[in-house]
Amino acid sequence: MESKRAQWGSKLGFILAAAGSAVGLGNIWKFPGKAFEGGGGAFLLMYLVIVPLVGMPAMLSELTIGRASQSNVVDAFGKLGHKGYSWVGWISWLTAFIITSYYGHVGGWVLRYAVSYATEAQAVYANPLGYFYNMLGYDPVSETTFFPWMAIVFAAVFLFACGLIIIRGVQGGIEKFNKVGMPALFVLLLILLVRAVTLPGGNEGLRYMFSLDMSKVNVHTFLIALSQAFYSLSLGMSIMITYGSYLPESEDMPKNTMLVCVMDTLVAFIAGFIIVPSVFATLGPDGVGKGGGFAFVSLAGVFEHTPGGAIFGLLFYLLLLFAALTSTISLIEGIVAFLTERFRWTRTATTLVVCLVLFLLGCLYTCSQAAYSIHGIWFDFANGISFPNFGDAMEFLTDRVMIPIAALGTCIFVGWSWTPAAAVEEIERNGVRFGLIRLYSFLIRFVVPAVIIAIFAVSLFTGTTLS
């Protein structure tokens, strides 16, 4: 006997969970740096074009595949009668696996910093870079490396917490946690926004974010905005298929898709309006960076020079923590759903094993940051074979290769094999006519695949860093 498939308990529960997945580290520390580099307001404008024209049809398609198949990502294509596309599911699943292994570790670092600001903000201020490296197993003073136990212990705690929430199930764990975590995230975001825009000198940064520097609008920044949108909306990674599979037939999927996309974009923009003005006010325009080093190192300078800085530092890392938790949970759910359904393993055992394996794989990521020189293999057409740091290799592989391939496979599946007509039939199952059928079909058949191919080609053939 098939056991009854889990479902979301309420519309709000689903929306918050899907938004929780989308709103993640990508919104809060990747987006502001990219928006800054991509010309401030000009980048925001490009992003506002991309989300409705590319992000929304892609997300709607993933949710629809999930609901129609009532299945995990790997089996979804077969259940819809197209077993030949199972490879798309496998790639999505594997991408989720690799991403979670390092995303979960970064979540641990965030937890570490929340604790640091609560207990020893002065130590972070005294030597921001040294503090960061020390967490990762490198002492810049004596130039020695050691096992990064601090980062690793916190990663273990973070992943274990995610596991506990997943074990409690779709409604009892994921939905419940998001119903608390997401409102908390919005409140923190608003507090930090008020602080940032009222900082003396913050105006300049705000003005930059509203200015349209059109000289920065080019193919390169456009592609950066595109790949950021895919990552930020959690597309190409099995999440929206899995979350869609828990949706009841009565749900209005186009409306839900729009709400999730709007929320995700809003949070990214607000994060931009927090980070860019704060950095302008305290460190000057040169202080804006985009990677993890920025989030952990440069921001220390911001909080040090902000009145009430340690408290705002703590609130900021709590914000990041909620964002990271709800995203990691969605990723692990995508992984676990497949294993429990395909192999009939129990949810609890599967979750624990998955979290353990993710944790161990992620240790290679964390250890390769500073402590040990662990290398991956990377091939690109422009530069041949290279052996980048293991962590970078993982990010390249997922962001540059696997996500675009899976996202492309998914929209070609909907556009050309399963057909938009079948998708629309599923979308309209709630009895409401979908008013944008022709636009949706056109976007999913032509526009979305074309832009994904463009991202892919540029990143593979030019060796340009898109992340």
Contacts to ligand PHE by CB under 6 A: 21-22, 24-27, 231-232, 234, 237, 239, 327, 330-331
Within 10 angstroms of residue 217's Cβ, the number of other Cβ atoms is 17
Kindly state the smallest distance separating residue 177's Cβ from ligand PHE, in Å. 15
Nearer to ligand PHE, 304 or 399 (CB): 399
Nearer to ligand PHE, 134 or 265 (CB): 265
Kindly state the smallest distance separating residue 442's Cβ from ligand PHE, in Å. 26
Kindly state the smallest distance separating residue 432's Cβ from ligand PHE, in Å. 28
Nearer to ligand PHE, 40 or 55 (CB): 55
Kindly state the smallest distance separating residue 259's Cβ from ligand PHE, in Å. 16
What's the gap between Cα 4 and its chain centre? 30
Kindly state the smallest distance separating residue 334's Cβ from ligand PHE, in Å. 8
Query: From the CA atom positions of the chain, what is the Rg in Å?
Result: 21
Nearer to ligand PHE, 156 or 332 (CB): 332
Nearer to ligand PHE, 22 or 65 (CB): 22
Nearer to ligand PHE, 202 or 409 (CB): 409
DSSP 8-state code for residue 352: H
Tokens of 323: 């964002």
Kindly state the smallest distance separating residue 268's Cβ from ligand PHE, in Å. 8
Q: Which of 410, 74, 95, 102 is nearest to 242 (CA)?
A: 74
Kindly state the smallest distance separating residue 331's Cβ from ligand PHE, in Å. 5
Kindly state the smallest distance separating residue 107's Cβ from ligand PHE, in Å. 10
Kindly state the smallest distance separating residue 99's Cβ from ligand PHE, in Å. 6
Nearer to ligand PHE, 188 or 310 (CB): 188
Nearer to ligand PHE, 68 or 235 (CB): 235
Tokens of 350: 């599967």
DSSP 8-state code for residue 251: -
* Residue closest to ligand PHE (Cβ): 24
Nearer to ligand PHE, 58 or 124 (CB): 58
Torsion from C-alpha of 325, 327, 329, 331, nearest 10 degrees: -150
User: DSSP 3-state assignment of 379?
Assistant: strand
Nearer to ligand PHE, 166 or 310 (CB): 166
Contacts by 310-316, CB closer than 8 A, 24 or more apart: 310/117, 310/121, 312/192, 312/195, 313/113, 313/117, 313/121, 313/124, 314/114, 314/117, 314/118, 314/121, 315/188, 315/191, 315/192, 316/117, 316/188, 316/192
Kindly state the smallest distance separating residue 320's Cβ from ligand PHE, in Å. 10
Contacts by 16-19, CB closer than 8 A, 24 or more apart: 16/175, 16/178, 16/179, 16/182, 17/174, 17/175, 17/178, 17/243, 17/326, 17/330, 18/234, 18/240, 18/243, 18/256, 18/260, 18/330, 19/178, 19/182, 19/259, 19/260, 19/263, 19/264
Tokens of 446: 């032509």
User: In angstroms, rounded to a whole number, what is the distance separating the alpha carbons of residues 418 and 78?
Assistant: 11
In this structure, what are the phi and psi dihedrals at residue 138, rounded to the nearest 5 degrees?
Answer: -140, 130
Kindly state the smallest distance separating residue 238's Cβ from ligand PHE, in Å. 8
Kindly state the smallest distance separating residue 121's Cβ from ligand PHE, in Å. 25
Nearer to ligand PHE, 21 or 459 (CB): 21
DSSP 8-state code for residue 5: P
Q: Using an 8 Å Cβ cutoff, are 129 and 78 in contact?
A: no
Nearer to ligand PHE, 24 or 205 (CB): 24
Q: Using an 8 Å Cβ cutoff, are 38 and 225 in contact?
A: yes
User: In angstroms, rounded to a whole number, what is the distance separating the alpha carbons of residues 178 and 194?
Assistant: 24
Q: Using an 8 Å Cβ cutoff, are 406 and 88 in contact?
A: yes
DSSP 8-state code for residue 238: S
